[in-house]
Amino acid sequence: MKDYFKAVQRFRIRMHKANQMHCKKLLLSSLFLLIGSQVLHAKSCPENDTLDPTSKIHSNLWGSTLNNNRFQPGENAGIRAADVPRLKLKWAYYLPPRFPGTSELRSQPAVTEDTLYLGTQDGTVYALDTESGCTRWTYKNDIQVRSGIILSDIDSNGPRMLFFGDDDGFVTALNATSGKRLWKTEMDPHPNALITAAPTLYKDQLYVSVSSLEVITAMNPLYNCCTFRGSVARVDARTGKIAWQTYTTPKSEETGKNKLGVQMWGPSGAPVWNTPSIDIKRNALYVGTGENYSTPASKKMDLISTLVPTPYYLIWPMAVMSAISTPPTPTTNSASSILSRHDALPGRKAPA
């Protein structure tokens, strides 16, 4: 045990020194970058600078398209490749640090003609004027927002909506015009669950990937490792109600005790960190899964997997180590052999 904690302490010291050097480099580069530009603090927009709820949307999905190819057409970008070397910084927005010396932005913004929406490390979601950088509104979430911001006009009679996931495993919907919360849904009650990937919006449905940090707590030999299961869920974008949720591993069971007599559980893990891609033609949804946290190993870890958005079952998993150019052929047999009983929702029959 002493050797374990000494190793952890040495690791922390190395990381602290590396972070100090990284912060110094970032500080110097930021000073050079901001010279001659406008640096903004949280300054509200003037009353006559109002948000247009129908302004043209330039970027509203993490991957730009449903298949996540991240292609941005020229009419949305407003610039050509030849213009890039001539671009200059117009304004910069100061984000207060969450901890001394740290301030990071891991949330990809959504952009309209007049507003930029982004999530931050301290949980604040901002709507900023694209022309001046002034603050249109803010929403204070309980915890860090790491996922990208998703934006859409779902209903012509309703408000433009904004969606994001957070480090507590919740998905939240806001009124994009006012910043008012419309709904908030917990995707997984596990204490280590979180959402890092931006949801994918197709029509009026959100497809949400759920991951966790239990892989870190698993390093503690006194921890009952591990019970988290990765998953993908479909959520009604209007109400936040979960329509279905497919897990990547069976429910964890007791597997024995470690050398310290602590009860171990498995299988577990196979988190889903990436934004789902949707193939409309094949009615398929693609995600990748991470590692198992504990034994026994499950069939759906470290895979590229395909699900049918309706009715929520796995078509085929493809091991990352195998040739991606030759995926297994989806068949009814392969689907039913992979499907576990926990994949089916109450009242719905799993495919035979």
Q: Is 174 within the bounds of a domain? A: yes
| 275 assigned to some structural domain | yes
Same structural domain, 51 and 121: yes
252 shares its domain with 315:
yes
pTM (predicted TM-score): 0.75
The answer on 134 and 253 residing in a single domain is no
Q: Are residues 164 and 271 in the same domain?
A: no
55/168 same-domain check: yes
Percent of the chain with pLDDT over 90: 47
CB atoms within 10 A of CB 250: 18
Indicate whether 305 belongs to any domain. yes
Q: Which segment of 55-64, 108-117, 167-176 scores lowest on mean pLDDT? A: 55-64
Indicate whether 65 pLDDT > 50: yes
CATH number at residue 166: 2.40.10.480
Q: Is there a domain that residue 130 lies in?
A: yes
Contacts (Cβ under 8 Å, ≥6 apart) of 101: 23
Q: Is the pLDDT of residue 66 over 90?
A: no
Confidence at residue 165, expressed as pLDDT on a 0 to 100 scale: 96
Question: Are residues 299 and 343 part of one domain?
Answer: yes
Q: Are residues 256 and 304 both part of a single domain?
A: yes
Residues 182, 219 share a domain: no
Beta bridge partners of 91: 38
Residue 21 falls within a domain, yes or no? no
Asked if the structure places residue 288 within a domain, the reply is yes
Of 5-14, 202-211, 280-289, the poorest mean pLDDT is in 5-14
- Does 29 have pLDDT greater than 70? no
Structural domain for 178, as ranges: 41-79+103-186
> Is 200 among the domain residues?
no
* Structure confidence at residue 50 as a pLDDT band (50, 70, 90): confident
- Alpha-carbon distance of 351 to 326, in angstroms, equals 25
**What average pLDDT does the structure give for the chain?**
77
Residue with more model confidence, 262 or 317: 262
- Tell whether the model's pLDDT for residue 193 goes beyond 90: yes
Residue 45 lies in a domain: yes
Cα-to-chain-centroid distance, residue 16? 26
265 shares its domain with 333: yes
pLDDT band, very low/low/confident/very high, at 316 (cuts 50, 70, 90): very low
Whether 34 has a pLDDT exceeding 60, the answer reads no
- Mean pLDDT over 117-129 rounds to 93
Residues 170 and 243 both lie in one domain: no
Residue 157 neighbours by CB distance under 10 Å: 5
Q: Could you give the percent of the chain with pLDDT greater than 70?
A: 71
In tens, the pLDDT along 232-290 reads 999 999 999 999 999 989 999 999 999 999 999 999 999 999 999 988 888 888 888 88
User: Quick one: pLDDT band at residue 186, thresholds 50, 70, 90?
Assistant: very high
| 306 shares a domain with 260 | yes
Domain tally, the chain: 2
Q: 224 and 140 share a domain?
A: no
